[in-house]
C-alpha cells in the first residue's frame, strides 16, 4: 500500500461555507466569466440564494433530488450550489441528453424537480433554469448550513454491465476532493482558469467545486468546437489556468500548431484528465509550456482525482498515471484482495475521504466495489519500484470517447431494436481522425438491407451524438462464448 502525505484534512468545510466565505471577503471579485458580462462573487451568491429559496418551497424536504440540465452557464453553476443550499441532491444531466435518457434518470433518481435550459418532456415539475437563477434579493442572508455527511450529488456514470450507475457523493466527498486537487495543482484565489469542459461531467464539475473552495475565477466556455477561438480567449484573458481532456489538447496542437506557447508567460497550470495521452503529445506540451504545471490526473467519478503526475517534475515517469494525490492511499491487489508487491499486476484500489458513499439503489454493487473503506476500481495495473502506478488495461469494455464513457451494451441494445438488424456488437477502437481518442465501432448482422447513413440518422433520435458509431462493419455473425457473451476482441 502507498499513502500520500496528508494536507490540511482538519480544515475541510462544506463547499457552500467556503463559497460564502469568499463572498464575504471579496464580493466584487469575479467568480465567473462568459461571453457576456462577468459575474461577481456577490452577484453569484444572490443567484444561488434566489434559486435555493424557490427550490426549498418546491422540494418539500431535505435530501430530495433535483435534476439540472443545460450547457455551461453561470445559471447552471448557480443552480448547482442552490440545490445544496436548499438541502437537496444535485443530479446533473448532459445538455444534449435524449428525452428518453433524461426520463430514465429522473425515474431512477426519484427526482421531484428539474431545472432545464431546454424543453424536456419529463414526468416531474420542470422549471426554466435561467428564470430561477436571476440575482434577486436573497431570502438566505448568510451561508446556508449543510452537514458534511449529507448527500450532495448523484452523478450517473456508465457501468461495466451496461446499466448506468448512480454515484452518491456527500458534501465531505466534494470538499475533500477539491482540497486534494487544489493542493496538487496549486490553485490560488487570483487565478483565472479557462474551462471548456461540461459542468455535467465529473471533470468540469470538479473545476467548479475547486473554484468554490479556492475563490478564483472561471472563464466558462460552451465547448471546444473552435480551438483557435478558445486559444484566443485564453491569450486575451491572460489566463493562468486551463482544464482539458487529452483529445482536446491534441486537437489544439494540431490545429493551432505552436501558438499555445504564446501563453507561456502567464499560464501557470493545466489540469488534464483522465484518458491516456500519447507520449509525443506530452513532450510537445512540455516544450511549449516549460514553466507551467502540467497536472494529469487519474480518477473515477467514484473517487475524484486519485492519482496525479506532473509532466516536468515526473519527466522520467511519463508512461505512468503518477502517484497517489494528497490525502489518498492506493494499492494493487490480487483477486483475493491481498496487496501485491511492486511490478506485480492486479486491480488498482484507492482509499480517501473523496471516495463516494455508495452506488444509488445498488447495494450489492456497493458491497462488491467498497470493501473496508477501499474502492476497487476495476482497472488493472501495477506499481513500479519508484512508487508510480501504471495502467495495463480495463476490467470492463467501457469506451472512452473524448473523456465520456460509453457502454457498448447500451448501443447494442438500441441497434437491435432496428427492424433491419438481427444482432450487433460494439467496441472501442482508436479514432482514425485522432480527435476523440477512442470511437465506437459497430459490427452488425443484417436481416434486410439498410445503409449505414440511415442507421446513423435513426440513432440520432435515440442516443446522444457521441454515442453513435463512427465505424460500421457488416458481418455474418457475432463472435460469442458458449454462454452467449460477446467476444469483442475477436470482432
Please state the domain count of the chain. 2
Range(s) of the domain holding residue 182: 2-383
Q: Is position 392 within any domain?
A: no
Q: In angstroms, rounded to a whole number, what is the distance separating the alpha carbons of residues 148 and 155?
A: 18
**What's the pLDDT score for residue 380?**
83
Q: 50 and 116 in one domain?
A: yes
Determine the pLDDT at residue 484: 55
For the segment 208-235, the average pLDDT, to the nearest whole number, is 94
Mean pLDDT computed over 344-370: 96
Q: How confident is the model at residue 485, as a pLDDT?
A: 60
Instruction: Note the pLDDT tens digit of each residue in 174-206.
Output: 999 999 999 999 999 999 999 999 999 999 999
pLDDT band at 379 (very low <50, low <70, confident <90, very high): confident
Residue 136: its pLDDT value, please?
Answer: 77
463-490, pLDDT tens digit by residue? Answer: 999 999 999 999 999 987 544 567 777 8
pLDDT band at 263; cut points 50, 70, 90: very high
Please give the pLDDT value at position 177: 98
The predicted-structure confidence for 59-87, as pLDDT tens digits, reads as follows 988 999 999 999 999 999 999 999 999 99
Q: Could you give the percent of the chain with pLDDT greater than 90?
A: 75
Q: From CA 279, how far away is CA 369, in angstroms rounded?
A: 31
Are 422 and 340 part of one and the same domain? no
Contact 239, 267 (CB under 8 A): yes
Q: Give the gyration radius of the chain's Cα atoms.
A: 22
Residue 153: beta bridge partners?
Answer: 90, 169
Report whether pLDDT(394) > 80.
no
pLDDT exceeds 90 at position 396: no
Specify if 447 maps to a domain: yes
What is the per-residue pLDDT for 162?
52
Answer yes or no: do 266 and 212 share one domain: yes
What confidence score (pLDDT) does residue 483 get?
44
Say if residue 272 is in the same domain as residue 212. yes
Residue 393 forms part of a structural domain: no
Whether residue 241 is found in the same domain as residue 111:
yes
Residue 281 has pLDDT above 60, yes or no: yes
- One domain, residues 182 and 322: yes
Residue 138 has pLDDT above 70, yes or no: no
- Domain termination site, one of 337, 355, 383: 383
Closest CA to 201 of 249, 247, 155, 152: 155
Q: Which residue has the higher pLDDT, 433 or 116?
A: 116
Which pTM was predicted? 0.83
What pLDDT shows up at residue 455?
96
Within a domain: 390: no
Residue 129 DSSP label: H
Tell me the pLDDT band of 2, cut-offs 50, 70 and 90.
Answer: confident
Give a yes or no: residue 431 inside a domain. yes
Q: Are 476 and 445 in contact (CB under 8 A)?
A: yes
Residues 354 and 438 in one domain: no
Give the per-residue pLDDT at 145.
86
Shared-domain flag, residues 310 and 443: no
Predicted local distance difference test score (pLDDT) of residue 160: 43
> Domain check: are 320 and 410 in the same one?
no
Mean pLDDT confidence for 350-367: 97
Q: Are 240 and 212 in contact (CB under 8 A)?
A: no
**Quick check: is 72 in a domain?**
yes
For residues 375-391, average pLDDT: 93
Give strand pairing partners of 145: none
The Cα–Cα gap between 232 and 193 comes to: 14
CATH code of the domain containing 486: 3.30.300.30
The residue among 351, 383, 415 that closes a domain is 383
Q: What pLDDT shows up at residue 336?
A: 93
Shared domain for 437 and 303, answered yes or no, is: no
User: Over 80: is that where the pLDDT of 11 sits?
Assistant: no
Q: Is residue 35 classed as helix, strand or coil in its secondary structure?
A: coil
The CATH number that applies at residue 286 is 3.40.50.12780
Query: Is residue 121 located within the same domain as residue 160?
Result: yes
Q: Quote the CA–CA distance of 106 and 93 in Å, as a whole number.
A: 10
Q: Is residue 159 pLDDT above 50, yes or no?
A: no
Average pLDDT over residues 331-343: 96
Let me know if residue 96 belongs to a domain.
yes
Identify the pLDDT of residue 37: 87
Query: Are 49 and 96 in the same domain?
Result: yes
pLDDT of residue 337: 94
Assigned domain for 362 exists:
yes
Say how far residue 138 (Cα) sits from the centre of its chain: 31
pLDDT, average across residues 13-32: 96
Does residue 10 have a pLDDT over 70? no
Q: Is the pLDDT of residue 42 over 70?
A: yes
Amino acid at each position: 500500500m502507498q499513502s500520500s502525505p496528508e494536507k490540511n484534512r482538519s480544515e475541510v468545510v462544506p463547499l457552500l461555507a467556503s463559497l460564502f466565505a469568499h463572498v464575504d471577503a471579496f464580493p466584487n471579485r469575479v467568480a465567473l466569466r462568459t461571453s457576456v458580462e462577468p459575474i461577481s462573487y456577490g452577484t453569484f451568491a444572490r443567484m444561488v440564494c434566489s434559486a435555493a429559496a424557490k427550490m426549498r418551497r418546491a422540494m418539500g424536504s431535505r435530501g430530495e433530488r433535483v435534476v439540472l440540465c443545460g450547457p455551461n452557464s453561470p445559471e447552471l453553476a448557480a443552480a448547482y450550489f442552490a440545490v445544496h443550499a436548499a438541502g437537496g441532491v444535485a443530479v446533473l444531466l448532459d445538455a444534449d441528453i435524449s428525452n428518453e435518457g433524461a426520463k430514465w434518470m429522473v425515474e431512477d433518481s426519484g427526482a421531484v424537480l428539474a431545472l432545464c435550459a431546454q424543453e424536456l418532456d419529463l414526468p416531474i415539475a420542470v422549471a426554466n433554469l435561467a428564470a430561477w437563477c436571476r440575482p434577486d434579493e436573497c431570502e438566505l442572508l448568510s451561508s446556508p448550513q449543510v452537514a458534511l455527511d449529507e448527500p450532495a450529488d448523484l452523478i450517473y456514470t456508465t457501468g461495466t454491465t451496461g446499466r448506468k450507475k448512480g454515484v452518491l457523493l456527500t458534501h465531505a466527498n466534494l470538499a475533500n476532493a477539491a482540497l486534494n486537487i487544489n493542493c496538487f495543482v496549486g490553485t490560488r484565489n487570483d487565478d483565472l482558469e479557462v474551462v471548456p469542459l461540461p459542468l455535467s461531467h465529473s471533470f468540469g464539475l470538479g473545476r467548479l467545486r475547486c473554484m468554490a473552495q479556492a475563490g478564483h475565477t472561471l472563464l466558462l466556455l460552451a465547448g471546444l468546437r473552435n480551438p483557435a477561438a478558445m486559444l484566443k480567449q485564453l491569450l486575451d484573458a491572460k489566463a493562468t489556468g486551463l482544464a482539458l481532456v487529452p483529445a482536446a489538447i491534441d486537437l489544439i496542437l494540431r490545429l493551432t500548431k505552436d501558438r499555445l506557447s504564446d501563453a507561456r508567460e502567464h499560464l501557470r497550470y493545466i489540469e488534464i484528465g483522465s484518458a491516456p495521452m500519447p507520449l509525443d503529445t506530452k513532450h510537445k506540451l512540455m516544450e511549449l509550456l516549460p514553466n507551467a504545471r502540467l497536472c494529469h490526473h487519474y480518477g473515477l467519478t467514484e473517487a475524484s482525482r486519485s492519482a496525479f503526475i506532473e509532466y516536468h517534475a515526473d519527466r522520467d515517469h511519463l508512461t505512468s498515471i503518477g502517484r497517489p494525490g494528497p490525502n489518498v492511499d492506493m494499492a494493487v491487489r490480487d483477486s483475493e484482495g491481498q496487496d501485491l508487491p511492486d511490478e506485480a499486476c492486479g486491480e488498482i484500489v484507492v482509499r480517501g475521504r473523496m471516495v463516494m458513499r455508495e452506488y444509488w439503489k445498488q447495494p450489492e454493487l456497493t458491497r462488491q466495489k467498497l470493501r473496508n473503506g477501499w474502492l476497487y476500481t476495476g482497472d488493472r495495473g501495477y506499481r513500479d519500484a519508484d512508487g508510480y502506478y501504471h495502467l495495463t488495461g480495463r476490467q470492463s469494455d467501457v469506451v472512452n470517447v473524448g473523456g465520456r464513457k460509453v457502454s457498448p451494451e447500451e448501443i447494442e441494445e438500441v441497434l437491435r431494436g432496428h427492424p433491419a438488424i438481427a444482432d450487433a456488437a460494439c467496441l472501442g477502437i482508436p479514432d482514425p481522425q485522432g480527435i476523440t481518442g477512442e470511437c465506437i465501432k459497430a459490427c452488425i448482422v443484417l436481416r434486410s438491407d439498410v445503409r449505414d447513413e440511415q442507421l446513423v440518422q435513426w440513432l440520432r433520435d435515440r442516443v446522444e451524438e457521441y454515442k453513435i458509431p463512427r465505424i460500421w462493419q457488416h458481418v455474418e455473425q457475432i463472435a460469442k462464448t458458449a454462454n452467449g457473451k460477446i467476444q469483442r476482441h475477436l470482432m
